[in-house]
Structure 1
Amino acid sequence: MVNRRLLLRTGGVAAAAALGTAAVSSTAAAAQTTEPAPFADGQHPLGSGPTDGVTRTLLQQHPSPAEGWDAVQTLVQIPRNKESGRHSHPGVEVGYIIQGDVLMEFDDRPAIRLRTGDPFFIPNGAIHNARNVGTVTTKMLSTYVVDPTKPLVTTY
């Protein structure tokens, strides 16, 4: 069982280590694996302007039991009044809102409001934007099952 308080206090790093998972810090992630990480440095800032301060930190990456796919887990943090920016992934995203309030906007369907404790699912290739509409930094645990030959994030 994950210690949620530990995850919130440490941004996932200590929790991932406590669970015995791989790839935690930016340089340690690259040094511990020969597989390409979805982010060259383990932590990926998502742009400038409305996306300033938004980060996606790699917690772990492993080959999926389904041949040709990788399972990737990240901690996404979106400061107040910021957004991820329109983007998609080369596979599905299964997520959980650890803290905060998000308006998940889609190009091809209505937006959904997500709050602390809510799960979410984003289909393969769906263009979406996570907008922090709350009063604290939003923290999302996102797990992807993706094609490892493609970038984890494609921005629009």
Structure 2
Amino acid sequence: MKSTRIMAAALLIVGSGWTLNVAEAQQPGIHRTDVLEDDLGTPGREVVQVRVDIEPGAVSIKHSHPGEEVAYVLEGALEYQLEGKAPVTLRAGEALFIPDGVAHVAKNVGSSKASELATYIVTKGKPLVVPVK
């Protein structure tokens, strides 16, 4: 019984730590909804899915991730600026691969809310969003 309580407390702490990492990255006009977090078959790696809703004109901070990201635009128009590349604008139904550690920025360039489903294949236990100066 005691070990069950300890395990439950540990899971709560680990789960809330992940949520805090994501919450710290939120900014005005950008809303993140956790969808999925699960271990992969490769030790030390996990998959995380997040729905990101971005108000018109809102811009993310420049950031990277401890792994790869696939950004799939659900609605609206989002401009992605990956470090060292020309900006690209995606609309609903289009996707973009962002390599491990590549700094990038996302901006809603439309006149209505834009949304993406971000799927991350990342190193477990590291902050999901890493601000870059």
Higher strand share: 2
Deviations 1:11-38 (A, max 9, x none): xxxxxxxxxxxxxxxxxxxx8x917242
Deviations 1:1-58 (A, max 9, x none): xxxxxxxxxxxxxxxxxxxxxxxxxxxxxx8x917242239756623xxxx1212221
Instruction: Describe the shift of the 1:41–1:90 C-alpha distance in structure 2 as closer, same or farther (beyond 3 A).
Output: closer
TM-superposed deviation, 1:65: 1.4
In the alignment, what sits opposite 2:123?
147
- Determine which of 86, 109, 120 is the counterpart of 1:110: 86
TM-score by length of 1: 0.71
Q: d(CA) in 2 for partners of 1:107 and 1:120? A: 14
- 2:58 touches 2:107 (CA, 8 Å); kept in 1? yes
Rg larger in structure: 2
- Runs of at least 5 residues in structure 1 that lack an aligned partner in the other structure: 1-30
In the alignment, what sits opposite 1:25?
none
In the alignment, what sits opposite 2:61?
85
Q: Say which SS state the counterpart of residue 40 (structure 1) adopts.
A: helix
Q: d(CA) in 2 for partners of 1:34 and 1:115? A: 38
- 2:72 touches 2:94 (CA, 8 Å); kept in 1? yes
TM-score by length of 2: 0.82
Instruction: Describe the shift of the 1:45–1:89 C-alpha distance in structure 2 as closer, same or farther (beyond 3 A).
Output: closer
Q: d(CA) in 2 for partners of 1:141 and 1:81? A: 19
Q: d(CA) in 2 for partners of 1:45 and 1:146? A: 16
Matching of residue 34 in structure 1 with residue 14 in structure 2 = no
Q: What does 1:1-12 align with in structure 2 at a 5 Å threshold?
A: none
In the alignment, what sits opposite 1:63?
39
Q: CA RMSD in A?
A: 2.2
Instruction: Describe the shift of the 1:41–1:107 C-alpha distance in structure 2 as closer, same or farther (beyond 3 A).
Output: closer
- 1:106 touches 1:129 (CA, 8 Å); kept in 2? yes
- 2:81 touches 2:88 (CA, 8 Å); kept in 1? yes
- Of all paired residues, the percent bearing the same amino acid is 32
Instruction: Describe the shift of the 1:139–1:34 C-alpha distance in structure 2 as closer, same or farther (beyond 3 A).
Output: same
Aligned residues: 122
Letter in 2 for 1:56: R
- Runs of at least 5 residues in structure 2 that lack an aligned partner in the other structure: 1-7
